[in-house]
Structures are given as structure tokens and as C-alpha cells.
Amino acid sequence: MTPQNENFARDVQALVLSMPVAQLLQLRFERIEPGEVDLCLPYQESLSFRPGQLQATPVFAIADFAAVSAAGTLLPTGWFNATIDCSIKYLAPADGETLLARGRVIQASKLLTVARADVFSRKAGRELLCATMLATARNLAPAQ
């Protein structure tokens, strides 16, 4: 996939990490490529369902951020996007030391981008798939 913005990595990272919820979750980017994003969320007791296991909300949030950020890497300079639809399936407990979400674009167009995110629980050097999301993002031009 070919980016339309040569500064896509910097711009996507700056936009996401400026959001208060991303700061609350302590998200960090591990990888940003055209149409692909890897995001990490450290385990936090304040986000847990029970000791050692994250609640579903942060799992959903990192999946959404990863999928829509991957879509954002393909936008022209100044454009942004927003989730308009998504479906998530929880497959295993999110009980790792960190969560890793791998967002990947499936199909990009001018108006809509469809992307997916797989969320892995990382513990003791191993990854376990704990959720998968399919998301649609609406691509929005800058205000004129």
C-alpha cells in the first residue's frame, strides 16, 4: 500500500497520542507502516476486571485505535478518520503483561476504509490471540 502523506507515521502517532483516552490507556506505537500499525497497552490494575485480567473496554479500545490508525496511514495530509462501524469477538482472557494490537487495512477508498485488528495478550514472551475486530472508518477531509 502506498501512503499519500510522506509524514504519515509522525502524523498518525501525534494525532492518536494527543487524545486523552490514549494517554489514559498509556498506548504506545511499536510499528507504523503504510496500512499497518502495531500498538501496545501495558497492564494496569485500574483497567482490570479482576486481578491480572484486563476488562473488555481497554481490549476494545486498543483494537479500535489499531484498526483506525492503520487506516489513517493511507490518508492524504491533513485528513483524519473516525470509526463508524465495528464488530469485536473476544476469544480469550486479556491476562498478559501487555496487550499488542496489530491493525491492518483490508480495503481503502476515498470515503471509507475497512480494517481489522487482532489483539494479543503477551505474557512470559508468548502471544495469545484474545480478540479480533473488523472496523469501518469514515475518511474526512480537513475543513475548508
pLDDT for position 130:
98
How crowded is the C-beta side of 104, counted as CA atoms within 13 Å?
Answer: 5
C-alpha cell at 84: 463508524
Q: What are phi and psi of 24, to 5 degrees?
A: -60, -40
What domains are defined for the chain? 8-140 (3.10.129.10)
Question: Mean pLDDT, 10 residues at a time, over the chain (144 residues)?
Answer: 93 98 98 98 94 95 99 97 98 96 98 98 96 98 80
Going by C-alpha positions, the residue among 55, 52, 124, 39 that lies closest to residue 90 is 55
pTM over 0.85: yes
C-alpha cell at 134: 473488523
Interatomic CA distance for residues 112 and 70, integer angstroms = 13
pLDDT for position 144:
53
